[in-house]
Structure 1
Amino acid sequence: MKVKVNQLKAGAMLSYISMGLGYLVSIIYTPIMLRLLGQSEYGLYNLVASVVSYLGVLNFGFGSAYMRYYSRYKVQDDREKIATLNGMFLIIFSVIGLIAVIAGTVLAMNTEVIFGSELNSTELSIAKIIMMILVINLAISFPNIVFSSHITANEKFVFQKLVQMIKIVANPFVVLPLLIMGYGSVGMVIATTMLNISIEIINAVYCINKLKMKFSFRDFDFKLMREMTVFSSFIFINLLIDQINWNVDKFILGRFHGTVSVAIYGLAAQLNTYYLTISTAISGVFTPRVHRLVASENNNELTKLFTRIGRVQFIILSLISSGLIFFGRPFINMWAGENYDGSYPIVLLLIIPVTIPLIQNIGIEIQRAKNMHQFRSWVYFFIALGNLGLTIPLTKMYGGVGAAIGTAASLIIGNGFLMNWYNHVKVGLDMKFFWKQILNFVPALIAPIITGVIINNLFNLNRIFIFTGFICIYILIFAVSMWIFGMNRYEKDLIGKPIKKVLNRLIRRI
């Protein structure tokens, strides 16, 4: 049990180290990439990627199903069923990969119809090549879901995060040489695809050699397949909804306003993606524990875990979101260029509403573990349709800001109201207790907000040294205020105990 706990702590810590490394690499790499590609080609890449990403829903949510059934057979120590499960999933995802190639080829043959008249003939030609490469990348990634899910199910988070860190660091080194040589977005997607294939091979080798992963292809369990399909069908709806909420905006913008508008929205969406990954870094490593607590039918412990994770996520996300409000515009102008200034209002419209579901995202896994995720799927499905209905006219009138407003409205209605009601009334989580604990942070936010307003009204933040200095001051004030007025003993220990251990070791060495 001790090893598992260490894996959880190390996994969570490495997640944030990996993200910090990723953001550092992105801060250096992205401006260079944007300037080498140019705004139009960057928009074209985002536009094509948004269309190809829809093929990602072909995984049908079977990754979550694997976790559910693997955990069941692991508890029973039924190695034969685990081997059969591995074989089934490898077959399923290999077939899905083949379907993705066929569907992607059809899409690539019809780029003129898909992207409309806003793209010129050169852009359409490049779009066709990019689409085929991205489709091959996606198709090859499907069988790897079996291996990555197996690693997660065995709680080997240290290996998983270390491989992720290698990928983050390696990406600019394989992409930038091709961009400098003038291969543009085509060269970028080729390099990324080759890197992804290398990582997928590493995962497969680790599972087979280190985790002794076995496969059985003799007895395909059709009864289990039907059961998994029913379970995964609602996860599939969630995947489809996520695609509508996060990618349809770029497609609609491309149809009505061209690649430059997509580039501006795409940069905001990239920042929003970073924001999303920060939240999931903690909750992701608790997935196996959630399934164990659900199996023991302990709703009280689930609520405590749900609230504990949510509070930690809120501390981190409130620092980033408030910092983006006060420092986002000068950051975007200095980092990406003044021609991306329009990304600022878009990113605020995306990240502020999404904070509500992000501090509750462990609840999604709780619903899945209880097999109660159907309601969420249907609610999100109809809200996503409403989002689509709003986005089309708003995009025509207001461009990227209009598209973001449609997405923001759907997030507020779906996550701010309906899902909180469902978690409280049906799932068995005490949401009144949860929100009471979150609202306890309000006094801690007063000093940072006042500081941010004063800085914005008195100083010009468009100079790098002034900007960096005030960022540091803001973070310091936020941290002190949160420590004194917001954090409880558990949260202080998360920071304090590791620091004390390091200091004690240094003192002993001295």
Structure 2
Amino acid sequence: MSNQTSDNNKRIAKNTLLLYFRMLITMLVSLYTSRVVLQTLGISDYGLYNVVGGVVTMFTFINGTLASGTQRFLTFELGANNKEKLHRVFNTAMALHGLLALVLFFLVETIGLWFLYNKMNIEPGRMDAAFWVFQFSCITMLINVIQVPYMSSLISHEKMDIYAYMSIFDVVMKLLIVFLIQVVDYDKLILYGFLFLIVNCISALIYNIYCRRHYEECKFSRDLDKKIFKEMMNFSGWNIFGCASVTFQGEGVNILLNMFFGTYITITA
């Protein structure tokens, strides 16, 4: 019992240090990249990128509630050492997030696109760029929704080292993006949105490959469980108002500022 407690303490300390290291690297790189991106895109395009991405993000608050539920159910079954039910939980979570991705895609491409063209305050001549950034953000959203079960499985297994390494990989790619948008002769805003999409695709692919190779439950099949599906929906329902409040507080303020004042003031929100 003493050895097990010692091992748990060491694992907790290691994971904590890795997450602090990840946070430090991410913060330092973000301080540099934010300034360079602002200079390269300009105030208006930088604000446009934030607010257009915010329109897409407004639709994803449900994903946050499902993500916490998925992680909870995977962690519980992993602790119970019930491999069969753990596999069913993962498959059910994949089906649930796949369904959510389809619903969000429909809402974003109908209500979201209408809102972009009819309510957003976009500078003349930049609507085409806003459209493409909107589409890139939509695809990124779908990728993030679908990969939630893989991320939840990774966290449930407490593999914070992989999570930290991938976060460092992301910030290194952001540095590369900053370099590319400065040297490539193309619309900076569209290029920036496209490169961010590529980085998200690569990160999602790496996470998926790692989880499939190391965790048995991450091999998707049609082994679904309606009871687990209902339990996950009920559990997630308790968090929906909290996630919605956080999302609307952040992105909603940006969108309101854009509607009344344009893209220049959006970045100050």
Q: TM-score, with normalisation over the residues of structure 2?
A: 0.90
Q: Work out whether residues 96 and 229 of structure 2, in 8 Å CA contact, stay in contact via their aligned partners in 1.
A: no
- The separation in 2 between residues aligned to 1:165 and 1:9, in whole angstroms, is 19
Residue of structure 1 aligned with 2:156, choices 153, 156, 162: 153
- The separation in 1 between residues aligned to 2:159 and 2:215, in whole angstroms, is 9
Q: CA deviation at 1:110?
A: 4.6
* Equivalent position of 1:137 in the other structure: 140
Name the SS of the counterpart of 1:220 in structure 2. Answer: coil
Q: Work out whether residues 11 and 161 of structure 1, in 8 Å CA contact, stay in contact via their aligned partners in 2.
A: no
* Equivalent position of 2:116 in the other structure: 111
1:207 aligns with 2:211: yes
Q: CA deviation at 1:109?
A: 4.7
* Equivalent position of 2:261 in the other structure: 257
1:122 aligns with 2:125: yes
Q: CA deviation at 1:218?
A: 4.0
Q: Work out whether residues 122 and 262 of structure 2, in 8 Å CA contact, stay in contact via their aligned partners in 1.
A: yes
Provide closer, same or farther for how the CA distance between residues 186 and 16 of structure 1 changes in structure 2, counting only shifts above 3 A: same
Runs of 4+ residues over 6 Å off in structure 1: none
- The separation in 2 between residues aligned to 1:206 and 1:24, in whole angstroms, is 27
* Equivalent position of 2:229 in the other structure: 225
* Equivalent position of 2:24 in the other structure: 20
Q: CA deviation at 1:205?
A: 1.3
Q: What amino acid does structure 2 have at the position aligned with 1:77?
A: N
* 1:343-400 CA-partner distances (Å, limit 9, x unpaired): xxxxxxxxxxxxxxxxxxxxxxxxxxxxxxxxxxxxxxxxxxxxxxxxxxxxxxxxxx
- The separation in 2 between residues aligned to 1:52 and 1:214, in whole angstroms, is 28
Q: Work out whether residues 71 and 153 of structure 1, in 8 Å CA contact, stay in contact via their aligned partners in 2.
A: yes
Name the SS of the counterpart of 1:259 in structure 2. Answer: coil
Q: CA deviation at 1:219?
A: 4.1
Residue of structure 1 aligned with 2:82, choices 78, 81, 86: 78
* 1:163-182 CA-partner distances (Å, limit 9, x unpaired): 11111122120343134324
Q: CA deviation at 1:231?
A: 1.1
Query: How many residues are matched?
Result: 263
* Equivalent position of 1:283 in the other structure: none
Q: What amino acid does structure 2 have at the position aligned with 1:255?
A: M
* Equivalent position of 1:46 in the other structure: 50
Provide closer, same or farther for how the CA distance between residues 179 and 94 of structure 1 changes in structure 2, counting only shifts above 3 A: farther
Q: Work out whether residues 163 and 199 of structure 1, in 8 Å CA contact, stay in contact via their aligned partners in 2.
A: yes
- The separation in 2 between residues aligned to 1:62 and 1:43, in whole angstroms, is 30
Provide closer, same or farther for how the CA distance between residues 177 and 222 of structure 1 changes in structure 2, counting only shifts above 3 A: same
* Equivalent position of 1:396 in the other structure: none
* Equivalent position of 1:390 in the other structure: none
Q: CA deviation at 1:194?
A: 0.8
Q: CA deviation at 1:253?
A: 0.5
- The separation in 2 between residues aligned to 1:144 and 1:245, in whole angstroms, is 25
User: Pairwise CA RMSD of aligned residues?
Assistant: 1.9
* 1:151-190 CA-partner distances (Å, limit 9, x unpaired): 1111111111111111112212034313432431211111
1:88 aligns with 2:92: yes
Q: Work out whether residues 74 and 86 of structure 2, in 8 Å CA contact, stay in contact via their aligned partners in 1.
A: yes
Provide closer, same or farther for how the CA distance between residues 203 and 3 of structure 1 changes in structure 2, counting only shifts above 3 A: farther
Q: How does 1:165-314 map to 2 (within 5 A)?
A: 165-181=168-184, 182-215=186-219, 217-265=221-269
Provide closer, same or farther for how the CA distance between residues 37 and 167 of structure 1 changes in structure 2, counting only shifts above 3 A: same
Structure with higher RCO (Cα < 8 A, 6+ apart): 2
- Gaps in structure 1 of 5+ consecutive residues: 266-510
* 1:92-148 CA-partner distances (Å, limit 9, x unpaired): 112222222222222225522231xx4233232221111111000110111211011
* 1:278-310 CA-partner distances (Å, limit 9, x unpaired): xxxxxxxxxxxxxxxxxxxxxxxxxxxxxxxxx
Q: CA deviation at 1:264?
A: 2.5
- The separation in 2 between residues aligned to 1:5 and 1:82, in whole angstroms, is 25
Q: Work out whether residues 67 and 149 of structure 1, in 8 Å CA contact, stay in contact via their aligned partners in 2.
A: yes
Q: How does 1:328-477 map to 2 (within 5 A)?
A: none
Q: What amino acid does structure 1 have at the position aligned with 2:93?
A: F
Name the SS of the counterpart of 1:260 in structure 2. Answer: coil
